[in-house]
Structure 1
Amino acid sequence: MSPDTPGGHGPPAHDTPLGEGEAEDLLRCICFKTGPPRIVGVELEWLLHDRQQPRSPVPQHRLEAAATAVRALPLNAAITFEPGGQLELSSRPADSLMACINDTAADLVAVRDTLGRLDLAPVGLGVDPWHEPRRLLREPRYDAMETALDRSGPAGRAMMCTTASVQVCLDAGEEEPGPLGYGRRWQLAHLLGAVLVAVFANSPFRLGRPTPWRSTRQSLWADLDPLRTLAPSGQLPPRDAWAAFVLDTPVLCIRGNSGPWAAPEGLTFRDWIRSGSPRRPVPADLEYHITTLFPPVRPRGHLELRMIDAQSGDDGWLVPLAVTTALFDDPEAAETVYRTVKPLAETAGPLAAPRNPLWVGAARDGLTDPELRAAAAGCFELALEALPRMGATQAVQDAVAAFHDRYVARGRCPADDLRELLTPGRRTAGTT
């Protein structure tokens, strides 16, 4: 997933210093905004490759020209570029699945056309299969991020510069218990998330070589930091677990008026509040800190599901968006899907996602794992039943059904196709 581009580039100028109790209250209130689910959004990341020579790194001046051209387009989505030059489209919150799909699809037509005139193509793969990490953005945030993540090894740089994802954003859910309640949706996200990793795994190559993983992207995220990428404790209610996780995770950086920003080692946000050094944190610092946390599911008023590899093809992205939204937001599907994936909790064990056996197996084995294959088949059946009730067009239903027939029904995922296409002696994969 992306390193996230927050608003603002320096310290907050005028804000009230934050106390520990106030920070806990803010986290409980702002991160789980409850109500009937009705809003959906999607964030799509794309690698940018030369259309004729995809294995050759694109020079920085061409990526800068692409950024200028794409930013000039009148799009519905917000456009950002990630540290390695990846393009990200972040849709506006939409009132329905089809509104989100239609707006995003229209934006992508314009983006692809503009990039095509520059002889570039947006590529939907979870990890760049050929190129070394190469950071193009030189900003204080990314300088500090690189410093902090380097302490745990090379996975941080690879994540920042060579990964891409489909991120589905859904309402947190209702206050009351039930299939649409925020507590159930929070639990569902962490079980269904492993199924989504396995189904949509699409990154079996890195640096020109096959890896042991079908989702190398997920393996990188699991390795890049001891705490920052873990799911909060499952022993506490969601609001309390998230508040504790945020406050007890080390800050990645402390913003200053100019770079470089401090990247203190081991200073949790709770420690920062208590010490008041090097300056006292304010609410804006807490919000910024949240953008530097990368668990597989991140609540920011809504739920961000961050575990899906970028998908190949012009419309590959809409399948995970449609399936995930149907399983969460259709009441009938939501009632049943939790029972479908709940047995996976035994496989997960006590370790937090994404480092428990369930998630590791999903990233490594995809749908060759019998439990994940059975769960995926049940989930797609429910999604296909729910999509007509949600107003999905026949084209969207057909895309989901085609993915099911090509992959899920055969115990395969996109990574299995890529392994065949990119294996020496076989034809080279295209760049779409």
Structure 2
Amino acid sequence: MPLSDVPDSGGPLAEEEAEDLLRCICFKTGPPRTVGVELEWFVHDLHIPQLPVTPDRLRTAFGALRALPLKSALTVEPGGQLELSSPPAASLMDCVTTVSADLATVRAVLGTLDLTLTGSGTDPWSPPRDRLLREPRYDAMERYLDRTGPAGRAMMRDSASVQVCLDAGHEEPGPLGFERRWRLAHLLGPVLVAAFANSPTLHGEPSGLRSARQGLWADLDPVRGTAPDTGREPRATWAAHALDTPVMCVRGGDGPWTVPEALTLREWLRSGEPRPATRADLDYHLTTLFPPVRPRGHLELRMIDAQPGEDGWIVPLAVTAALFDDPEAAGAAYRVVEPLAALSAGADAAPPRDALWRGAARDGLTDPVLHEAADACFALALEALPRRGATTAVLDAVAAFREHHVVPGRCPADDRLTPATVTVTGAGTPGKDLRT
């Protein structure tokens, strides 16, 4: 396949050049100043949420939404999930205000179409669905992921999350240094999984897990869905991880993309087959890596289930931002979660594959170690949030979540298991405005 058939291909890329690029682009250091959030939602019928929404109905709705003057980017996931990605915000409250306004606009339009948004890590009602998006990227992704079992298809079509985006941090060591923040993200990750687990079903049936979504990620490709050893220097370790992860696909023109067998990016760069790799291929390869924390210049924390209610997403955003960006809370939170590293399956175990992450998905906060860590971290967040400019309403929401869930050792999935219900909020449903 000639490079001329690949859009925006550029010239051939050498292995050494790729390694240098990875070191430079994945951790962009400086004082932590911005915060962002990416919210995925299922779209359901407003009046009968169990009623499957047809692809034509979804396409009509998404066409109307794309015409809206939103500040957040609006995209559609392969299974028809709606995603809103905020622009980088100068503060937590700027992020909350922007996304809340965009969500209100989206809900109003969906309401006119008798549709609503549902916050859940997996779809609470729908059986396995056909993929909505038929594009070479997703065709190739599905072919690749099918090699390791059904988890990949389910992840693409039946999962939704709250992804918190934070600056990488200072170059210098310290509570806000990028090396400490990288490690904190992975140590805190199982605590966030457990506290916000909200997917006890898969394809509408009980899964046996409190976070079936996290269970899907744990069952993916054992390299692509895991993190490198977070005890080592992040730049070199992540660069090696990216280079030694198999390529999901080799992009082509209008036809199907090639899905090679066990071809790592490093091997592709060295061999030049089936065609020379380019900078655009490197950039694309990075979008096909699915670790719980993905360095994209900033840190993208990907382990939190989508939350119930109109404003439920604000609590994990506020807690995570407070624990990372407040120096006092960041240092204290690291001391709280550092002992969790000893609970991994082994010194070289990748976090999503070890017992701690799987236990978080299965047990939520009934796990006594995770319960203790979550309670301490929520207390630290509540102390830090006023220093980060959080409103009283945000503080009240975090405090209420802690009182209802964290203190008694519960997560949102437990609310759905006993009794087996799920919260759905439609357009026009009264809700507390956490911006004021």
Task: Provide TM-score, normalisation by structure 2.
Answer: 0.94
Q: State the partner residue of 2:422.
A: 429
Deviations 1:14-42 (A, max 9, x none): 51211111111100100000001011000
Equivalent residue runs for 1:11-90 within 5 Å: 11-13=6-8, 15-90=10-85
Tell me, yes or no, if the aligned pair for 2:8 and 2:280 is still in contact at 8 Å.
no
Q: Which runs of 4+ in 1 moved over 3 A?
A: none
> Does 2:359 align with 1:361?
yes
CA distance in 1, matches of 2:291, 2:298: 14
Q: State the partner residue of 2:216.
A: 220
SS for the counterpart of 1:316 is coil
Identity %: 66
Q: State the partner residue of 2:304.
A: 308
CA distance in 2, matches of 1:234, 1:303: 14
SS for the counterpart of 1:214 is coil
Q: CA deviation at 1:267?
A: 0.6
Deviations 1:62-108 (A, max 9, x none): 10011011111110100000111000000000111100000000000
Equivalent residue runs for 1:6-405 within 5 Å: 11-13=6-8, 15-131=10-126, 132-350=128-346, 351-405=349-403
Deviations 1:219-276 (A, max 9, x none): 0011121211011123531111100110000111111111211111201000100110
CA distance in 1, matches of 2:65, 2:118: 15
Tell me, yes or no, if the aligned pair for 2:308 and 2:423 is still in contact at 8 Å.
no
Tell me, yes or no, if the aligned pair for 2:124 and 2:422 is still in contact at 8 Å.
no
1:390 aligned partner, one-letter code: R
CA distance in 1, matches of 2:10, 2:248: 21
Tell me, yes or no, if the aligned pair for 2:244 and 2:264 is still in contact at 8 Å.
yes
Measured on the aligned residues, the alpha-carbon RMSD in Å equals: 1.1
Deviations 1:334-359 (A, max 9, x none): 11110010111111232211110111
CA distance in 1, matches of 2:8, 2:370: 49
Tell me, yes or no, if the aligned pair for 1:42 and 1:321 is still in contact at 8 Å.
yes
Q: Select which of 386, 390, 406 maps to 1:408.
A: 406
Tell me, yes or no, if the aligned pair for 2:195 and 2:364 is still in contact at 8 Å.
yes
Q: CA deviation at 1:414?
A: 0.1
CA distance in 2, matches of 1:49, 1:265: 38
1:67 aligned partner, one-letter code: F
Tell me, yes or no, if the aligned pair for 1:127 and 1:216 is still in contact at 8 Å.
yes
Deviations 1:153-190 (A, max 9, x none): 11111100110000000000100010000000000000
CA distance in 2, matches of 1:128, 1:179: 37
Q: CA deviation at 1:279?
A: 1.1
Q: CA deviation at 1:324?
A: 0.2
CA distance in 2, matches of 1:385, 1:376: 14
Q: CA deviation at 1:317?
A: 0.2
Task: Provide TM-score, normalisation by structure 1.
Answer: 0.95
Structure 2: runs of 5+ lacking an equivalent: 426-436
Structure 1: runs of 5+ lacking an equivalent: 1-9, 423-427
Q: CA deviation at 1:129?
A: 2.2
2:133 aligned partner, one-letter code: L
CA distance in 1, matches of 2:165, 2:312: 17
SS for the counterpart of 1:168 is strand
Tell me, yes or no, if the aligned pair for 1:203 and 1:217 is still in contact at 8 Å.
yes
SS for the counterpart of 1:151 is helix
Q: State the partner residue of 1:6.
A: none
